[in-house]
Structure 1
Amino acid sequence: MRRILLGLCFLSFWGSASGQEIPLPEKMPQTHPRVLTTPAGKQETWELIKKEEWAKDVFNKLKERTEVYTNLTDAQPSWLLSRLAMYWKSHATEVYVKGETFDHAGGEKAPYPTVRYTGTRGTAATHGRPKLADVVPYDDDESGNVTFCNNALPERPMESVHPSKTGRNIESLNCEILGIARDAAFLYWMTDEEKFAKLAAGVFDTYMTGIYYRNVPVDLNYGHQQTLVGLTSFEVIHEDALHVAVYLYDFLYNYLKTNYPDKMEIYAGAFKKWTDNIIANGVPHNNWDLLQARYIMSVGLVLEDNKEYADGKGREYYIDYVMNRSGIRQWSLTRLADYGFDSNTGIWAECPGYSSVVINDYANFVNQFDTNLQYDLVKAMPVLSKAVATTPQYLFPNRMICGFGDTHPGYLNTNFFIRMIQNAQANGKKEQEKYFTALLKCLNPEMGNDKKEKKNVRVSVSSFFEDKPLALNPKVQPGKIEDYVSPLFYAPNVSWLVQRNGMHPRNSLMISLNGSEGNHMHANGISMELYGKGYVLGPDAGIGLFLYSGLDYAEYYSQFPSHNTVCVDGISSYPVMKSNHSFELLSCFPASAEPGKEFTSVTYSNLYFREPESRADQTRVMSIVTTGAETGYYVDVFRSRKEKGGDKMHDYFYHNLGQSLTLTAADGTDLNLQPTEELAFAGAHLYAYSYLYDKKMAATDKDVKATFTIDMKDKGGDDIYMNLWMKGEPEREVFTALSPMTEGLSRTPNMPYNIKEQPTLTFVARQHGEAWSRPFISIYEPSTKNEPSAIQSVSYFDAEEPGLKDFAGICVKSKNGRVDHIFSLSDAEQAATYRGMKVKADYAVVSNEYAGNRTLFLGSGTQLVVPGIMVQADSAANVLLEKKAGKWYIISSAPCTVVINGKKVKSGVTSEPILLRI
């Protein structure tokens, strides 16, 4: 009951994204600073320095390192600003690039030096930055080269080099110098010492004047890059110098207005040119839009009112662009939310890694609106609170997120929970505060600990202003993780479905299934991740060593063979990144619901996918069957066939963590695996096959068993196993192989071995011809040395009806005396009979009675008959009928009739177990 009430309370402030216009505040601050802090913040900061040792330490170190440069400029006023990377002599106004590489600069000569453009879009560089003291002042010559260090030679000698060899080091150099000037501007604001103002103003004036007279780069290839370039970087989302310049200007505003009055229009013009290009370029439909919005918002906050500028483009104009206005490559916050958030689930339309970033960006905007504009963005866009509340759905029982798409799985970011609490406190929303406080304490028990000291604080201006101490309501107790996740959760806008039987880190099971819908997705068909014994044992491979710009990403990590899926004819593929290849949810149990529902002993899903390259139909039935408080197993039935026949082969891939893999016949006999060159690019297959090595193969129609072992000698010695049983079929080959390391988990702390240095253990089953009437039928069970397999045997049976060629029948015998007969049919209109059991459904589980318990499950069907028991429904229903301690309970998605030992009872729709009066 507690779970239900918690959910109902929160529903009162959940809502969907709103397309309504967000009004601008009627009054906005007219004084500076106004972005990181306000004029009143000076006294508050001094009090903080007096009260907190960390603040005193940060201030003293900031002052000490900045005075190094004020001392240098006392002797040589241009010492720091002369080291800016500028077109000091050429005053170039135009920059030309070829795709992702700088080509040359030119154009008309500006009246002042202009800002030099960076070398490449990527970070790879043969030449690196010199130390600031070694930078050649006013470095510019007729060749357009820069004087940088040759990284390939001993002692990195400095030499003249074309900017295209320097990666993004030109940007980096200028950001460092601007950062020193920003720190000086802050110190001037705090101390009124003019030496800091002179240092800051010289750099700021030189750089911003150089921006004002420089134009947007031109791509000589006339390609996509033209829509991405910024004034200083190849991507408008990496205009890092702009953020630094905004803070610098904000703290130095009064000094500049007094000492550079004739330049204030140029500074504002530079900010506007910079921002107008960010609005004109970029990508509107994903995380880029929010990163761009951060720059636009910062400029909007620091500029004066519209009326102060001849073009009418000031503070209101740019803030309104973030809130309400949209261009072709820059959407408003509301339009992006309407596009990206599923109003029913709250899930953002990108993979988990990027979704977390986007939600965090939105949450930071919420905080900024509360702080700088005194406006409740959550009230205007209720979907934001729902999106934050939904993020725990990404979690495996070990509290790490799913790994599909371009994701590096890690622990869930809790910053957006903090932002929702702050928003609730700022706007008096008690239910929202209570919900997110309980959630934050659940996932981050250390939060709210008043005794926790602030240590190792970064020496940065923002350290004084980032966040006031979070005051959590001590009366709110930590929530339970089970209150925030669902037994089955389906998000169609990312083609993702998850099944759980609990959230116990050690004993619970979880399946994550994904297609390819949304942004930062892979070509993977119906891919799965499997959890067990504290780890994602069957993981997604990751992004690759060089992220999505690397060859390994293009050829392997983003392709079918790196995923736990089925590849057809060696050619299955489709566009990655922004992909539009989702699976179709045919049926599932339990229904996808809000969090807080009771976990069921059986979960299942039936998914359909059209593989476009081979024009193949694929279905995947997956289920969790719980057999005890700490035991259970996975069922996987994968059918695959080409629409028009002519199937060459279907390859079932499964990758698992571990250092060793054994593959034998199910009875333990040797398969006589032999080295092979099959599973290869040769034969016009995907390049990804070439990434498999140390391959061994056996042609066999026998049932097989694979065991993947994680050696836990460094973690207590309780080795972890994934046990896989697969039904044999004619014309089948089975393989063991090694794949590239599981890059997605290579950054994860506390793994049982060095993931980055261990190839991924891989099992492949190749079905020659079609794999529809001969589907891949598998049982998976995690176990450990101290918690051995609970399964005694796995066998298979055929239906008694002739003609059911694609029928899957599995018998799983557990050591506790339980016996499960599992039925899977591709056509629920047909019936399958075996030993007095009759099923007319997509899927069914029939257990024997043991210790007064029994489980019967009908999945998207109309009839289930076993001796003495019948379940009948007029339309397809999901029915779980369980006997517990001699009493029968039922969950049903549609009205049905149950007959037990001649006693008939009708059941209505129920999502919670109801006692049957029999």
Structure 2
Amino acid sequence: MRQFLLGLCLLCLLNNASGQENGREIPLPEKMPQEHPRVLTTPDEKQDTWELIKKEKWAKDVFNKLKERTEVYTKLTDAQPAWLLFRLAMYWKSHATEVYVKGENYDHAGGEKAPYPTVRYTGTRGTAATHGRPKLADVVPYDDDENGNVTFCNNALPERPLESVHPSKTGRNIESLNREILGIACDAAFLYWMTDEEKFAKLAAGVFDTYMTGIYYRNVPIDLNHGHQQTLVGLTSFEVIHEDALHIVVPLYDFLYNYLRTNYPEKMDIYAGAFKKWADNIIANGVPHNNWDLLQARYIMNVGLVLEDNKEYADGKGREYYIDYVLNRSSIRQWSLTRLADYGFDSTTGIWAECPGYSSVVINDYANFANQFDNNLKYDLVKAMPVLSKAVAATPQYLFPNRMICGFGDTHPSYLNTNFFIRMIQNAQANGKTEQENYFTALLKCLNPEIDNEKGEKNNVRVSVNSFFEDKPLSLSPKVKAGKIEDYVSPLFYAPNVSWLVQRNGMHPRHSLMISLNASEGNHMHANGISMELYGKGYVLGPDAGIGLTLYSGLDYAEYYSQFPSHNTVCVDGISSYPVMKSNHSFDLLSCFPASAEPGKEFTSVTYSNVYFREPESRADQTRMMSIVTTSPETGYYVDVFRSRKERGGDKMHDYFYHNLGQVMTLTAADGTDLNLQPTEELAFAGAHLYGYSYLYDKKVAATSKDVKATFIIDMKDKGGDDIVMNLWMKGEPDREVFTALSPMTEGLSRTPGMPYNIKEQPTLTFVARQHGEAWTRPFVAVYEPSTKKEPSAIQSVSYFDAEETVLKDFAGICVKSKNRRTDYIFSLSDATQTATYRGMKVKADYAIISNEYAGNRTLFLGNGTQLVAPRVTVHTDQAGNVLLEKKQGKWYILSSVPCTVVINGKKIKSGITSQLTLLPV
């Protein structure tokens, strides 16, 4: 362990500096080491690194490869000392001090001429480019013509010839070129530190001196549009969160510090000034309330660690100043770690206030900070901020049964990152926290079983300096066994700060069902109303569409992927929308079962949720009741009742969108008869609707009041031939049209390995039900069931019934008959204080299920209600609550959120609140 800290106390000299926040503070070291290196390692650890190389095969291999590839350039510089550095992208001739951009594109450079060449600015904020960077050997030396162009490769022509081109045509390739050269110099600096061979120092110092001097004399870009971009630009990139060159030059400088101080003493103030200019700009620009803040903080922290003490600089801004800025201070665009945590983490659930893809990034960044604090400050950040441990522990809640994360918002679903579990284990080991170590070790082994087979040996280690330090092998306790995934997720989980709710009936990859339901609260969210994702047979069959081909900067994102028509939701009058990215449109959770709880609770055979959403554009009220009904260990189905109406009436139409994976879709009447679907140009922007409608094509329509059935088929011929089917039954209504269509490909899953077909080349199968007029008294009532060719549908039929007695015009009744002789009568009411009856059954609740008895089994469920009357069974409560009553192999069990009275075959039993299924004395 590094001996970085001699003692901890509060640094009094900074107490009165501007930006100091009230409340808890993270203390700074009283004294800090004066020697270099100090960021990745310390001088005392050089011998430890040599021992690692001698002892570990992977370390020796990485070191030899680093040395081998770096010596290619030391040999080139023997013959031509400037061979590497003159390939840097610089303003070699103009020495431009000012850079001008127009929004997200480079425009030109100018200003007073600096005494040295300055660093060239990148081309665009996005990555799209007509011209790519040449191979390093083909880069034109001192490339800087009188027009400010660069000489790059034309990607559109055969053999990619070199051409003089305006930088705005090159995307971010200018940054990339400079980072490659700096990376070579960083490797050389590390090798010099390890070997004392001066050839490596000369190579590294030439590049570093040229680049950092060029940073020192270059100013922050000016946006000629005077727009938002001005608050985002960095010194080398259009976004301060992509000042990635800093991650290279900090260790480069750190390893090379003593050589530079001896050979470039007159430049040391310039280097420090360049670092501070860089950090000051990152503090001044950016976004404070999301993942940007942490990315910025990492840059600032690294600058702070590599600088000398405050007293060494005339402006008093050194190590303590920048480190304290990260820990305890906030400006308008850069918040402290504690303020950001208070803003973004839900203290109850641990969920971060962004979509899963970005939440994972933030949690990983916080976990990496914890590791850096342990190593560099000998301070336990996790102890100081307990929500960090809770947040890491909550990440499995994002998982579908196939262990991939939910896809809502700007997320590319993937397998869960396990690095933050490693960081929690390292933090526990560094601070003697056995319970924390055991918990996250079991979780890590659960989600990454292979890690337990590595036995300390690393395979496929990247050839990087960091591999010797931050990425060293993790030592796991052999006494801790892998946990069970069921212990880390909840049957129902609700995170209000992202308006997201999950229902599960288990975590079996093949047989379990899961609903992910979300609105639009937090960052990187879409305009999607009450949107759902549905899981079945190993895949998210009803997925979120994704972000788009060029992420959130593309037209397809703005018009389609971020809008209602790309989601499994209901769009009103063709106009439903609201601001995306940072959105503030959540749903209200009206009722649910089971209660949102900590992980490890018993899975129930019934789950449900009832949520309300106000769609702001059309001023529409929407509710969605969704349920999972489990009919056997391998079978079950989803229930979806979606009600939608405009507050002031005048409803034109309500469009129910559902998108499913697959290559083949059928749509017929529920009895199998042909609907005579006809080609149509409806579902379009024409008519003053959203642009997103125009992204649908190959559209066919039928006007019908019949009940309908749709099937979505995934052809699994390349995966064993067991085709996967999603079956959808929907109740018919007057004034309804049903459509089949194709939508843009499901971009969110286009990068996912192991998919059954090429997602990127297959349009998404789409079903749309259009209800003319309101859809409240004529709600969308649907049942979904996943099946396969080898595990065919377990449902025999789906039909619908109207209540015989009720004041509610929006009542929905569903009868689901299963092939195992089970029949479920499902009641959905918009008002739990009202009563609905049918064939002697009576319900006063939001939601209820009454099944028959079959093979000694029976299920009755009362959701947010007070009364359920069924053949031979009644349930009564004095206050609204949830009661699950099940007969299993002849024995009755109950799970109740409120005290209740149950009468079974004339026998009255009083039951209190139960936290799990409890045997009833019948």
TM-score (norm 2): 0.96
The answer to whether the 8 Å contact 1:697/1:736 transfers is: yes
- 856, 859, 865: which one aligns with 1:855: 859
What pairs with 1:732-811 in structure 2 (closer than 5 Å)?
732-801=736-805, 803-811=807-815
Rounded Cα–Cα distance in structure 2 between residues aligned with 1:665 and 1:155: 56
Rounded Cα–Cα distance in structure 2 between residues aligned with 1:325 and 1:375: 18
Rounded Cα–Cα distance in structure 2 between residues aligned with 1:81 and 1:227: 31
In the alignment, which residue of structure 1 is the partner of 2:568? 564
In the alignment, which residue of structure 1 is the partner of 2:309? 305
1:575 has 2:579 as partner? yes
1:389 has 2:393 as partner? yes
In the alignment, which residue of structure 2 is the partner of 1:10? none
The answer to whether the 8 Å contact 2:58/2:457 transfers is: no
- 415, 423, 430: which one aligns with 2:434: 430
Q: How far apart are residue 803 of structure 1 and its match?
A: 4.2
In the alignment, which residue of structure 2 is the partner of 1:604? 608
1:821 has 2:842 as partner? no
The answer to whether the 8 Å contact 1:619/1:638 transfers is: yes
- 398, 413, 418: which one aligns with 1:414: 418
Rounded Cα–Cα distance in structure 2 between residues aligned with 1:792 and 1:267: 75
Deviations 1:455-502 (Å, cap 9, x if unpaired)? Answer: 333222222223332111111111111100000000000000000111
Rounded Cα–Cα distance in structure 2 between residues aligned with 1:343 and 1:227: 30
In the alignment, which residue of structure 2 is the partner of 1:456? 460
In the alignment, which residue of structure 2 is the partner of 1:9? none
Q: How far apart are residue 451 of structure 1 and its match?
A: 4.6
Q: How far apart are residue 199 of structure 1 and its match?
A: 1.6
Q: How far apart are residue 882 of structure 1 and its match?
A: 1.5
Rounded Cα–Cα distance in structure 2 between residues aligned with 1:845 and 1:155: 67
Rounded Cα–Cα distance in structure 1 between residues aligned with 2:801 and 2:122: 66
1:868 has 2:855 as partner? no
1:638 has 2:642 as partner? yes
1:95 has 2:99 as partner? yes
In the alignment, which residue of structure 2 is the partner of 1:368? 372
> Counterpart of 2:824 in 1: which secondary structure?
strand
> Counterpart of 1:911 in 2: which secondary structure?
coil
In the alignment, which residue of structure 2 is the partner of 1:658? 662
In the alignment, which residue of structure 1 is the partner of 2:47? 43
Q: How far apart are residue 795 of structure 1 and its match?
A: 0.8
Deviations 1:265-324 (Å, cap 9, x if unpaired)? Answer: 111111000000001000111111111111011111111111111111111111111111
In the alignment, which residue of structure 2 is the partner of 1:8? none
Q: Which runs of 5 or more structure 2 residues have no equivalent in the other structure?
A: 1-21
Change (3 A) 1:449 1:802: closer
Q: Tell me which amino acid in the other structure corresponds to 1:757.
A: E
1:265 has 2:269 as partner? yes
Change (3 A) 1:157 1:749: closer
Rounded Cα–Cα distance in structure 2 between residues aligned with 1:431 and 1:646: 60
1:147 has 2:151 as partner? yes
Q: CA RMSD in A?
A: 1.5
Rounded Cα–Cα distance in structure 1 between residues aligned with 2:654 and 2:285: 43
In the alignment, which residue of structure 2 is the partner of 1:337? 341
In the alignment, which residue of structure 2 is the partner of 1:7? none
- 276, 284, 290: which one aligns with 2:288: 284
Q: How far apart are residue 135 of structure 1 and its match?
A: 2.4
- 499, 504, 508: which one aligns with 1:504: 508
- 587, 590, 595: which one aligns with 1:586: 590
Deviations 1:107-161 (Å, cap 9, x if unpaired)? Answer: 2222222111111111222222223233232222332222223333333333332
1:899 has 2:882 as partner? no
Rounded Cα–Cα distance in structure 2 between residues aligned with 1:806 and 1:651: 18
> Counterpart of 2:53 in 1: which secondary structure?
helix
1:694 has 2:698 as partner? yes
Q: How far apart are residue 666 of structure 1 and its match?
A: 0.8
Deviations 1:420-458 (Å, cap 9, x if unpaired)? Answer: 111111101011011111111111111132457533332
Rounded Cα–Cα distance in structure 2 between residues aligned with 1:468 and 1:145: 43
Deviations 1:220-274 (Å, cap 9, x if unpaired)? Answer: 1100000000011111011111111111100000011111112111111110000
The answer to whether the 8 Å contact 2:457/2:473 transfers is: no
Q: How far apart are residue 914 of structure 1 and its match?
A: 2.2
1:124 has 2:128 as partner? yes
In the alignment, which residue of structure 1 is the partner of 2:8? none
In the alignment, which residue of structure 2 is the partner of 1:77? 81
In the alignment, which residue of structure 2 is the partner of 1:32? 36
- 155, 158, 165: which one aligns with 2:162: 158
In the alignment, which residue of structure 2 is the partner of 1:621? 625
> Counterpart of 1:273 in 2: which secondary structure?
helix
The answer to whether the 8 Å contact 1:25/1:375 transfers is: no
Q: How far apart are residue 398 of structure 1 and its match?
A: 0.8
Q: How far apart are residue 724 of structure 1 and its match?
A: 0.8
- 518, 521, 525: which one aligns with 1:521: 525
Q: Tell me which amino acid in the other structure corresponds to 1:592.
A: S
- 314, 319, 322: which one aligns with 1:318: 322
Deviations 1:789-838 (Å, cap 9, x if unpaired)? Answer: 11111111111125432000111111111111000111112110111111
In the alignment, which residue of structure 1 is the partner of 2:256? 252
In the alignment, which residue of structure 2 is the partner of 1:225? 229
> Counterpart of 1:912 in 2: which secondary structure?
coil
The answer to whether the 8 Å contact 2:800/2:813 transfers is: yes
The answer to whether the 8 Å contact 1:19/1:334 transfers is: no
Deviations 1:140-187 (Å, cap 9, x if unpaired)? Answer: 233222222333333333333222222222212211221121111111
Rounded Cα–Cα distance in structure 2 between residues aligned with 1:886 and 1:53: 62
Rounded Cα–Cα distance in structure 2 between residues aligned with 1:450 and 1:795: 55
The answer to whether the 8 Å contact 2:859/2:886 transfers is: yes
Q: How far apart are residue 67 of structure 1 and its match?
A: 2.2
In the alignment, which residue of structure 1 is the partner of 2:888? 884
Rounded Cα–Cα distance in structure 2 between residues aligned with 1:463 and 1:452: 14
Deviations 1:851-900 (Å, cap 9, x if unpaired)? Answer: 22211111111111123322112221111111223222221112222222
Aligned residues: 902
Rounded Cα–Cα distance in structure 1 between residues aligned with 2:739 and 2:454: 56
The answer to whether the 8 Å contact 2:662/2:765 transfers is: yes
What pairs with 1:824-843 in structure 2 (closer than 5 Å)?
824-843=828-847
In the alignment, which residue of structure 2 is the partner of 1:668? 672
1:705 has 2:709 as partner? yes
Report the identity percentage: 89
In the alignment, which residue of structure 2 is the partner of 1:474? 478
Rounded Cα–Cα distance in structure 1 between residues aligned with 2:156 and 2:416: 40
Q: Which runs of 5 or more structure 1 residues have no equivalent in the other structure?
A: 1-17
Rounded Cα–Cα distance in structure 2 between residues aligned with 1:470 and 1:457: 13
> Counterpart of 1:910 in 2: which secondary structure?
coil
1:722 has 2:726 as partner? yes
> Counterpart of 2:450 in 1: which secondary structure?
coil
Rounded Cα–Cα distance in structure 1 between residues aligned with 2:782 and 2:790: 24
In the alignment, which residue of structure 1 is the partner of 2:9? none
Rounded Cα–Cα distance in structure 1 between residues aligned with 2:93 and 2:763: 53
> Counterpart of 2:29 in 1: which secondary structure?
coil
The answer to whether the 8 Å contact 1:840/1:864 transfers is: yes
Q: Tell me which amino acid in the other structure corresponds to 1:349.
A: A
Q: Tell me which amino acid in the other structure corresponds to 1:411.
A: Y
